[in-house]
Amino acid sequence: MAHRWRNTLTAADVTPEPIWMNRRQLIAGGASGLGLAALAGRAQAQSALEPNSWEEITTYNNYYEFGTGKDDPARNAGGLRTDPWTITVDGLVDNPGEYSLADLIGGLTTEERIYRFRCVEAWSMVVPWNGIELADILNRIGVKSAARYVAFETTVQPDVMVGVRRRVLPFPYVEGLRLDEAMHPLTLMATGIYGRDIPNQNGAPIRLVVPWKYGFKSIKSIARISLVAEQPPATWNRAAPHEYGFYSNVNPTVDHPRWSQASERRIGGGLFASREPTLMFNGYESEVASLYEGMDLTKFF
Ligand SMILES: Nc1nc2c(c(=O)[nH]1)N[C@H]1C(S)=C(S)[C@@H](COP(=O)(O)O)O[C@H]1N2
Ligand SMILES: [Mo]
């Protein structure tokens, strides 16, 4: 990568960048009512980057292998076997094989990243992740020039996964990224939250985090990484292609067929908290919009 993304979003030092972005959007949208709107934008930007609590992040989850309710993963994921952990690396790579987690990520730089997280169901959180840039892992395994996409697969442990036994979705859960998305410095392979090991319900021992995409792209408990030439299958895209596209970039102007994506409910905001406007690319527009230049985002949703 040409540059390593610098994390300015710490709890101690609330970033000025989203405030700057809001102001720029206000200016772009005309200066009427600037005073009040700028204040509102500032308040929203600051509250939006206050991390959610450990409790909120680890008890309100989507991990269908452990059930479809938001509290099912915290209740049911205790039996997931995460040690030892093997990740199969195959496809168009120089160094394929069965890697232990330590061999795959040992010696690479662990980052702390506070990211907005936006679920397709129009709720959101802010999560302080610890992890490694996926690009560093891809460079270690050596991507061949014919590779254009990265495919991921979640482990399947039917004896401890009640959702797998009930076949609530076709498993293994699979996801994919275009290679330039995968190599982007914002794309993280998370191994921790709040400096602690990532809990099973959040995707132990290693899961993807792509902060400008809807949450379902961030596949948990990864057991296989494949470099491929063709666009790989993705679980929700395969299950309901009219509702979930391959790209699934957060986009307030492209609604889900059954609900609006223009706003979101911040988890932990309280019963009477007002909804917050959803930001283009979940607030990471200045970093990632160039990846999609010339693409019709209503077609490639
Ligand atoms: N293997 C697997 N990964 C998954 C899912 C899942 O059901 N199975 N759910 C996805 C969805 S819909 C969301 S919103 C996020 C939730 O991540 P969190 O529970 O850490 O907030 O995980 C994603 N990754
Ligand atoms: Mo989701």
Domain of 242, CATH number, reads 3.90.420.10
The verdict on residue 43 lying in a domain is: no
Statement: residue 174 has pLDDT above 90? yes
220 lines ligand 1 (CB under 6 A): yes
Q: What CA–CA distance (Å, rounded) separates 82 from 248? A: 29
pLDDT digits (tens, 9 = 90+) for 231-267: 999 999 999 999 999 999 999 999 999 999 999 999 9
Statement: residue 95 has pLDDT above 80? yes
| Closest CA relative to residue 38, chosen from 59, 51, 21, 54 | 21
232 lines ligand 1 (CB under 6 A): no
Say which residue, 15 or 82, is predicted with more confidence: 82
Q: Please tell me the predicted confidence (pLDDT) of residue 87.
A: 98
Q: What CA–CA distance (Å, rounded) separates 252 from 261? A: 5
Q: Please tell me the predicted confidence (pLDDT) of residue 176.
A: 99
The verdict on residue 285 lying in a domain is: yes
pLDDT digits (tens, 9 = 90+) for 26-82: 333 333 444 445 545 545 555 558 999 999 999 999 999 999 999 999 999 999 999
Q: What CA–CA distance (Å, rounded) separates 295 from 165? A: 40
Section 80-93 average pLDDT = 98
72 lines ligand 1 (CB under 6 A): no
Protein residues with C-beta less than 5 angstroms from the ion ligand 2: 62, 119-120, 215-216
Counting ligands in written order, which one lies closest to the CA of residue 121?
A: 2
Contact 215, 201 (CB under 8 A): no
Classified as helix, coil or strand, 107 is coil
The count of domains in the chain is 1
Ligand 1 centre and the CA of 279: distance in Å? 21
pLDDT digits (tens, 9 = 90+) for 202-226: 999 999 999 999 999 999 999 999 9
Counting ligands in written order, which one lies closest to the CA of residue 219?
A: 1
Could you tell me the pLDDT band of residue 270, with boundaries at 50, 70 and 90? confident
The verdict on residue 42 lying in a domain is: no
The verdict on residue 219 lying in a domain is: yes
Q: Please tell me the predicted confidence (pLDDT) of residue 273.
A: 82
The verdict on residue 13 lying in a domain is: no
- Determine which residue's CA is closest to atom 23 belonging to ligand 1: 216
The verdict on residue 273 lying in a domain is: yes
The verdict on residue 25 lying in a domain is: no
The verdict on residue 41 lying in a domain is: no
Range of the domain at 274: 51-292
| Closest CA relative to residue 101, chosen from 192, 21, 166 | 192
Contact 244, 236 (CB under 8 A): yes
Alpha helices by DSSP H, the chain: 17-28, 34-48, 54-59, 72-76, 101-105, 134-141, 162-165, 179-183, 235-239, 285-288
